[in-house]
Each structure stands twice: as C-alpha cells, then as structure tokens.
A and B are shown apart, each in its own frame.
Chain A
C-alpha cells in the first residue's frame, strides 16, 4: 500500500514542473503561434506578389 504522505511529496515535486510546463505551453500557443502563422501568411503573400508582378510584365 502506498504511503500517502510520501506520495504527496513526490506528487508536489512533479506538479511543480507540470504546472510550469503547462503555463509555458499555453503562452506559446496563445501568443506566439498566431504571430508565427500571421508572419507565414505575410511571407507567403509577399512571395506570391513578385511572382504575379513577374508574370504581368513578361
């Protein structure tokens, strides 16, 4: 049978890392992922623009 007090110690030690990791993952997904997607779209748009300009002049 598990010693509940010992279990609480190691659970808390594990929870500390779990909580910090969850917070960091949430920040990454909420703040950085949309920005990355937006920058990717802009890059894609600017890549397509010179191509269409080129096709227009040729």
Chain B
C-alpha cells in the first residue's frame, strides 16, 4: 500500500512538473517565472518551502516526547517572525532592486569580485549542505516505511527533482510547490485534527499528570527558559536571510502579491506547524511508548486514521521533502549557472544558450546531490551542522548593512562574512569538544552574529565606501516596490480602478486573517489552556 502511494504521488508530481516545463520559453521564465507569480502561487511556494520534513519528523517527535510547547511556543515563533522579515523586508527590497537571485544583490551593491565569490560559496555550501542532509534523513525514514531501498529512493527523488528544476526552473518549482502545499494542508486540516479528536482534549491535558511538565515551555525535560529564548532568537536569524524563503518573492507579479503572500503565507506557517505538534502530543495518548519518536506522525498516518487519509499523509510528507529540496537545489543551480558562470566569469551568452547553461547546472546539482546522498560521506554531516544557519551569520549583517547603512562597503562586507562564518564554526566546535562552555541562554550562532555585526561596524567606520557604493546606496533609497507597482498600474488603461481594487483586496485579506487567526488559536486555547 505505502509503496503504491509513493509511486502514484511521485508520478503525479513529475507529470505536473513536466507539463509546467512547457511554459518556460526564455531565461526570465526559467529564473523568475517571467515575474508572473500570482498570490496563489507565491503563497503556495512560500508555504511549501517553509514546511520541511523537520516539522513532520524531528520536531513532531520532540513534541511527542517532551510536549508540544517545547519548540512551538518560542523557537517556532522565531521562525514565523523570521519568515515575515524574509518576505516583507529583505525579499521585497531585493526584488525592487531587480535581483533575480540573492547573489545579485551582492554583485549590484558592491561590484567587488571577492564579495561576490564569498557570498556565492556561502550560498552553495549552505543550500547543498542543508538540502542534502534533509534528503538523507527523510529518505531513510521513507525507505523504512515503504520498503523501497534507500539508494533507489534517492535516485527516484533526484529524477523527480530533475524534472522540476532542470526542465521547469523556477516555474516548475513554484507550480509543483503549490500543488504540494495542498497535500501538506491536508495534514493540518484533516489528518492532524482527526488524531487530536481521537486523543481528546481532556486526555491530552491530563498528560501532564503522567508526564510532569508536559504542557510547559520547558517540557518534560524541564529545559531552562534561557534555552527557549535563545531558540527564538536563533530561529529568527536562521529564517530571515535564508535564500529559500527570500527568493520566493522574486517571481511575484507585483507588490500586492507580495503583501498578500506575506499575510497568508505567514499565517500558514504556524497553522501548518502547531496543529501537527498538537497531534504529535495527541499520539502520546493514542499510542504511548513509541521509541523512534521521529516516526510518530508516520505511525499516526498508517495506524490511526482511515487508510485513504493515511496515504494522503504520506503524500504530504513526501511533498514536504520534495518542495524544500527542489527550492534549495534549483537555487544552487541558479548560483552556479547565473551568478558564477555568467556573472563572475563574465560570459556573454545568448538567451537560448543561457537557458541551456541554466539547465546543465541543474543536472550537475542533481548528480552531485544524488552521489552525496547515497555515499553519505562523513564530511556532509559536519557541513550540515553549520549549513542551515550559515546565512544568519554569513549574510544577514552584510545584507541589512548593505540595505540600510550609508558607510557600508566591500571591505566591511568581506570582513563581516568571513568573521561571522569563522566565529560560528570555531565557537561551535569548541563547545562541541567541551573546550569552552556557553551559558544556557547563549547559542554559538548568537555569538557569531555579534562578531559579524561588530566586524562590520569596525571596518565600516574605518574605511570609506567607493563611488559606486555611494551612488548605489542613493539609488537604492529612491527605489521601492510600492513606487514600481504604482508606476506600473498608472501606465495601464483603467490603472486607477485596478490599483484601488488591489488595495481594497489586500486590505480585506489583511484584516480577515487577523479574525481567522483569532478564531483558530482562540479555539485551541479554550480547549487546551483552561
């Protein structure tokens, strides 16, 4: 049964991805889907990329074992706020500047090869390291459940990703992400509520009698509040500058699409996560004593809901793996083809050849990912410790400094990126080897971020920006997504009416979602909080 579901779902996603590939006519379609992204598609890709297998496996397992509040109450809150910053602040500003990829910003802002190379290395290591390790982890679990051998599973996943990424580029990824989001939503709207219903709110609340501190932020392990607060800060740093989320904004049609996606997408982040964590808590009532806690949701799908819904749950898990992986890998391919080959090596390519190079890069990434995932070299585990969070320490100070600080220049960028990344690895390794001990409320990521920011200020104050940097800063301050959108609407026949319609629609969505959120979370508070 599970094997059949696996193949049916995979074929469905591949066919959808293949059909979308026919829409890719030029370079702009391949990299930013011709900037035609509607609200539905941008919300779809944002939501699907946000929800990774980590939620359904690792954190769900932790919620089952220690209590649903341990990560959700503060750590995940940081991730939700980080997502908002990524979309509404960094993504929106970069799109206004005409960035197609995030390295475009470094290229435009500093016009300095060293800065571009360091930014690119951080991007490739970060995306590949984080993406491959997620693929390995989720692939191992899925292989156990379906009985399909792990290498075959990885090859099949890679082939599917090749269809989305190499043929469809950003078009393929955004459309398949949107389809996948609906499968993931089935988990939050149908399957998880069913598990919660089976467990019963009263029985779930009573868990704190058998497992002390189950319904506290510290959880059954009684983690100190300082740890939870540090998780909140770490997840903000982690999410606010990650290319997987920031770049979801680039294909958007206009500013209204971004603003609507910010409200709906950011609403979906807790909606998709918290209900799953609560269901994982419910599993403690339905089936206590699960030892491999990472599998708790899969056990819930397979044994405690009707068969068809269980299959849908498994499809949702596959979607969470593939949507995050496709985004991470398509961006790595873009970095290789566009930012490294075309820009840094200064290759002037025709439209057709550029598209071909973009596709070759996707094939190369797929082969590398497949080989690393199957071979599982020890180095990948080491890289993965730092890969996901590297953007928070390596990029975030430079990006914010680049966007907001007049004195920001290439030397400060180089210093900050190198110091932040090095400090992160050195401090974390020293802690890991028990050479030093950090206070419980301080994470190595926070230390490294502080080092990065400090370095940026010291170098920034002791050097001067170049003429290009000064001119670009001035130009940047006069550029905004709202101005571009207003100009675009004003140039259309009947533009004012369209602008007013979009304004009204965005306002209604913003206000409506506040009420929807109040209703949903108010209901859960009434059921579990009193």
Contact = CB atoms under 8 A, between A and B. Distances in A.
Interface of A: 1-3, 5-21, 23-25, 27-28, 31-33, 35-36, 39-40, 43
B482 interface: yes
Interface residue tally on B, bucketed by range:
35 or more
Given A7-B525, A8-B73, A14-B517, A20 B266 contact: yes
Given A14-B517, A27-B88, 10 more contacts: A7-B525, A8-B69, A10-B521, A16-B266, A17-B516, A24-B88, A24-B259, A24-B262, A27-B482, A39-B495
A2 B330 CA distance: 46
Interface of B: 68-69, 72-74, 77, 80-81, 84, 88, 215-217, 259-260, 262-263, 266-267, 269-271, 274, 480, 482-483, 486, 490, 495-496, 499-500, 503, 506-507, 510-511, 513-514, 516-518, 521-522, 524-525, 528-530
B529 A2 contact: yes
B496 A43 contact: yes
A7 B491 CA distance: 49
Given A9-B72, A35-B499, A17 B513 contact: yes
Given A17-B513, A20-B263, A36-B503, A10 B529 contact: yes
Contact of B81 (A16, A33, A39): A16
Nearest to A29: B507
Nearest to B269: A16
A39 B498 CA distance: 12
A36 to B, nearest CB: 6
Contacts of A33: 503
A55 B482 CA distance: 39
Nearest to B81: A16
17 contacts: A3-B215, A9-B69, A9-B274, A10-B524, A13-B270, A15-B77, A16-B267, A16-B269, A17-B266, A17-B267, A17-B270, A21-B514, A32-B486, A32-B503, A35-B482, A39-B496, A39-B499
A24 to B, nearest CB: 5
B73 A20 contact: no
Q: Top 8 A-B pairs ranked by shortest CB distance?
A: A31-B482, A17-B517, A13-B270, A12-B77, A10-B521, A6-B529, A21-B510, A16-B80
Contact of B216 (A2, A5, A12): A5
Contact of A13 (B274, B507, B514): B274
A30 B66 CA distance: 45
Contacts of A31: 480, 482-483, 486
B47 to A, nearest CB: 13
A24 B506 contact: yes
A3 B260 CA distance: 33
Nearest to B512: A21
A1 B73 CA distance: 19
Nearest to B270: A13
A12 B517 contact: no
A5 B530 CA distance: 11
Contacts of B522: 10, 14
Contacts of A16: 77, 80-81, 84, 266-267, 269-270, 517
Given A16-B84, A21-B513, A7 B529 contact: yes
A47 to B, nearest CB: 12
A8 to B, nearest CB: 5
Given A12-B73, A24-B506, A18 B517 contact: yes
B517 A13 contact: yes
Given A3-B529, A21-B513, A36-B503, A14 B521 contact: yes
Given A16-B81, A20-B88, A36-B499, A27 B259 contact: yes
A41 B88 CA distance: 30
Contacts of B260: 24
B263 A17 contact: yes
Most buried by B among A15, A20, A32: A20
B511 A6 contact: no
B186 to A, nearest CB: 20
B94 to A, nearest CB: 16
A23 B74 contact: no
A33 B69 CA distance: 41
Contacts of B529: 2-3, 6-7, 10
